[in-house]
A and B are shown apart, each in its own frame.
Chain A
Amino acid sequence: MSTTTTAAQGDDHGHGHDDHPKHLAHHFESLEQQFDAGKLGIWSFLLTEVLFFSALFVAYTMYRSNYPEVFQYASQFLDTNMGALNTIVLLLSSFTIAWGVRNAMLGQLGLLKMNLVITLLCAGGFMMIKKMEYEHKFHEGTLWSGNVNTIFRLDPNDVPEDMKHHSTAWDNRNGEFTMAVKDLDPEFRQKLGIFFGIYFCLTGLHGIHVLIGMILMIWLLIRAMKGEFGPTNFNAVDFGALYWHLVDLIWIFLFPLLYLIS
């Protein structure tokens, strides 16, 4: 992962490795060992990433099993179409980065650059869509506990019958149903805030990982432009792609858990 650039320095210390390949770091015996080490390293890192997210998934499970009706009610404020679009965008990017790994192995640098650019664009698109969703929520005030302070505007058809008696204001002129949050049952309101707290924490943390992935992609693209990758030197692309697949995979779990509750 971080060792390739030290390759050249290792050669002049007299370890009997005069035929040291350029991409082989000084402390490895062979390219296979270097690749295996990198592979185990990135998989271990992905394992820590899964555990890093785990606490939030546990929080989700715990609060959802305790307050299923809150989660069901809250989920309708998330835009399923936007979520679905983002899922497609990320799946496409996973495909292009996987193809990119193949390109790097075969030394097809042109195709590799193309695939990295597409992946990067997909990641950027994902973040743009996410930004629109966030902006909408800040505008509507569907925020976390301490900040649920404005009114929800709802399509009347989305409001469960048993919730309607909480309402104080029907606005029939716009065909909109507005409901002051203060009219909700206080405990219900509190738990609603927790749903959005979990939503923002999970998608926010995931978004940070997408941004890190984009930086990684730019780094790979720069190296690809320098013509660095080839059949004996594709580790960085391979490991970067594994990271990207995990980011994708986490979204695959987030989308149904948050958006598709019914």
Chain B
Amino acid sequence: MPSTNTLDRTNYLNATKGFMSWFWTIDHKRLGLMYLWSVIGCFMLGGFFAMKIRLTLSGDVDFASQTAEQMNAYNNAFTVHGAVMIFLVIIPSIPAALGNFVVPMMLGTKDVAFPKLNRFSYHLWIIGAVLFVATLFIGNLDTGWTFYPPYSTGHTDPSVITAVLGAFILGFSSIFTGLNFIVTIHKMRPPEMTWFKMPLFLWAIYATALIQILATPVIGISLLLILVEKTMQIGIFTPELGGDPVFFQHLFWFYSHPAVYVMILPGMGVMSELFATFSRKPIFGYKSIALASIAIAIFSFIVWGHHMFVSGQSELMSVIFSALTFSVAVPSAIKVFNWIATMYKGSISFSTPMLYGLSIIWLFGIGGLTGLFLATLGTDVYFHDTYFVVAHFHYVMVGSALFGFLGGIFYWWPKMYGVVVDNMASKIGCLMTFVGFNMTFMPQFIGGSKGMPRRYAAYGESAGFDGYNEASTLGAMVLMTGLFIALGSLLWSLKKGKKSPSNPWGGVTLEWMTPSPPPEHNFEIDPPVVGDPYDMTLVEWKGEEEGFLPVNPRADDPCVPDVKPSA
């Protein structure tokens, strides 16, 4: 019986060989994989600095006995941790890595609309990453990831220049990726796939791409102005030259607030796929989830002022921004309730990707609800610049965006490499990551609510925050161990993993209708059959295949064993 696994046949992984066949490829799948491994590499770099922060804070160092070098090193650690994790890890994680791999296949096309532009995006990303790494050797970057003037424009440390230039270039990488997805989704859908027959992951990627192309140019020009300001004293932001530093904050958050939805929306898209597939039920409230993605993208542009409640904007502005910020909670809650309703009376299988999905309900629930405390003017004035903000941000960005990324990796891993990872190790990895994450950041909520300020290198015993810091550091160890177990299980599977059929989980979206791993041009039959992406009756479990097969396959469908593949 011919297998639907193509590891021993020609597929996109082994069709061509050599360094250049990867580095200079225009194949969206290979670019997606290269993004994936690059992002994982940067995640380790950012994680290293996270551990440095935690170890500094849990040491028994009194504030008074800290040397200036130690404090500078701490400032450097939290700046590099933030900048690397945001610009190099979370922003490209799902859109560029998983999106590149999955989007064209979900659309049943051979590639994204502009494959060479896609390759250019990746090369820009590499240049940006190199500049960021160079920053580590040039100086002591200590502005915080926000690059606020006058910190960034004032003192003479040259590392700001490479970091800002790196972020500028990464911005263009992100813009071109978003532009590619917008055009791909608009123009390359099969005729039968109308907007409301698109998988929800595509809706999420589309909403993300809108933010990427509309918001990112603004941070681009702002960072460019920081550069000329620093090198030539232009004076638009620097107060000594008559400039207005709050103006930079407006521009910065005009991008960086929508940017947090660049991080979270694709994660939500992954979750919609996970909940439907692993509950064996059509997604509940398809249209409301799809439109909620667009609503979040629109709201994201009109709430940036909530980052500046204490920066000196007018009270009226603050009140308006506060009220608008609450509106984001509505589409977010719609999504969560729809996921829960999808599971209701479903046939839930607790596979590794689904465990990540279930974790997100808890983590995003806490992250989202604590966001309301920060949107409320009165409480935010108190919580501003405390660990409450840090914990909230990590619950949303790590707990939801990163868990979504991990869930997506495990979900599409069989398609990427033709092997399934769903064993005790991968489940323990997920569980430890979940527990470790809560152990790390729950104490920060409590500490923050008691007024523990962020960005301090030491607090001293009398402040009474040592217990929270030590608990948090312990949690970070567990979290790190969990993540390494997850990575280990993925790497192990490449050597010894169980070969995956074309559709191991029973998804109905088009990427499951082609062998694993897919051939170079994605589909052996052309065009693929387009059905309802969430009608679970279209596929059925076949024990001898250890996977799912279409109920009514086409005569030449290469995924059905008794039909001879055409290629």
Q: Is the CB of B235 within 8 A of A146?
A: yes
* 8 Å CB interface, B20-35 against A: 26
B182 contacts the other chain (CB 8 A): yes
**Alpha-carbon separation in the docked complex, A124 to B117 (Å):** 28
Binding site for B on A (CB under 8 A): 1-3, 6, 13-16, 25-28, 33, 36-37, 40-41, 44-45, 47-49, 51-56, 58-59, 62, 144-147, 187, 190-191, 193-194, 197-198, 200-201, 205
- Asked whether B138 is an interface residue with its Cβ less than 8 Å from the other chain, the reply is no
CB neighbours (8 Å) of A52 from chain B are 217-218, 220-221
Do residues B114 and A54 form an inter-chain contact, with CB atoms below 8 A? Answer: no
Q: Would you list the 9 A-B pairs with minimal beta carbon distance, nearest first?
A: A146-B233, A145-B235, A190-B242, A2-B116, A52-B217, A197-B234, A27-B110, A27-B111, A51-B217
The interface-forming segment of B183-191, B371-379, B385-393, B426-434 is B183-191
A40 touches B186 (CB 8 A): yes
Tell me the dominant secondary structure on chain A's binding face: helix
Distance (whole angstroms) from the CB of B412 to the closest CB of chain A: 20
Looking at the complex, which one of A48, A62, A193 makes contact with B242 (CB distance below 8 Å)?
Answer: A193
> Inside 8 A of B251's CB, which chain A residues have their CB?
55, 58
- Assembly CA distance A197 to B224 (angstroms): 13
Contacts A15-B521, A37-B183, A62-B244; A48 near B217 (Cβ below 8 A)? yes
Instruction: Check A33/B235 contact, CB under 8 A, given A3-B115, A6-B26, A41-B113.
Output: no
A145 contacts across to B, CB distance below 8 A: 233-235, 238, 241-243
**A–B pairs, 10, beta carbons within 8 Å:** A27-B113, A37-B113, A37-B188, A41-B117, A44-B183, A47-B214, A48-B213, A52-B221, A56-B221, A146-B235
The reply on B567 being an interface residue by CB < 8 A is: yes
Evaluate contact between B179 and A41: CB separation under 8 angstroms. Answer: yes
Of chain A, the residue at the smallest CB distance from B224 is A205
Q: How far is the CA of A187 from the CA of B234 in the complex (A)?
A: 15
Measured CB to CB, the closest approach of chain B to A45, in angstroms, equals 6
Assembly CA distance A80 to B221 (angstroms): 27
A48 contacts B233, C-beta separation under 8 Å: no
B residues in contact (CB < 8 Å) with A: 26, 109-117, 120, 175, 179-180, 182-184, 186-188, 213-218, 220-222, 224-225, 228, 232-236, 238, 241-244, 247, 251, 520-521, 526, 567
Q: Pick from B175, B228, B236, B241: contact of A59, CB below 8 A.
A: B236
B187: chain A residues at CB < 8 Å are: 33, 36-37, 40
Asked if B115 and A198 make an inter-chain contact with CB atoms under 8 angstroms apart, the answer reads no
Interface residue SS majority, chain B: helix
Given A33-B188, A48-B179, also A15-B526 (CB < 8 A) = yes
> In the bound complex, what is the Cα–Cα distance between A26 and B188 (angstroms)?
13
A49 to B186, CA, bound (A): 20
**Chain A residues in 8 Å Cβ range of B112:** 27
Give the complex CA separation of A151 and B444 in angstroms.
Answer: 57
Residues of B within 8 A of A144 (CB): 232-235
Please report the C-alpha to C-alpha distance between residue A52 and residue B218 in the assembled complex, in whole angstroms.
5
Is there contact, CB below 8 Å, between A48 and B234? no
A145 to B116, CA, bound (A): 42
In this complex, what residue of B is CB-closest to A41?
Answer: B183
What's the nearest-Cβ distance from chain B to residue A196, in Å?
9
| B contact residues around A2 at 8 Å (CB) | 114-117, 120
In the assembled complex, the Cα of A144 lies from the Cα of B243 at a distance in Å of 12
Of all chain B residues, the one with the shortest Cβ separation from A5 is: B116
Partner of A55, one of B184, B186, B214, B222: B222
Residues of chain A with a CB closer than 8 A to B110's CB = 15, 26-27
> Per a CB cutoff under 8 Å, which of A6, A15, A25, A44 touches B179?
A44
Give the shortest distance, in Å, between B146 (CB) and chain A (any CB). 16
Given contacts A15-B526, A26-B110, A55-B225, contact A49 B247 (CB under 8 A): no
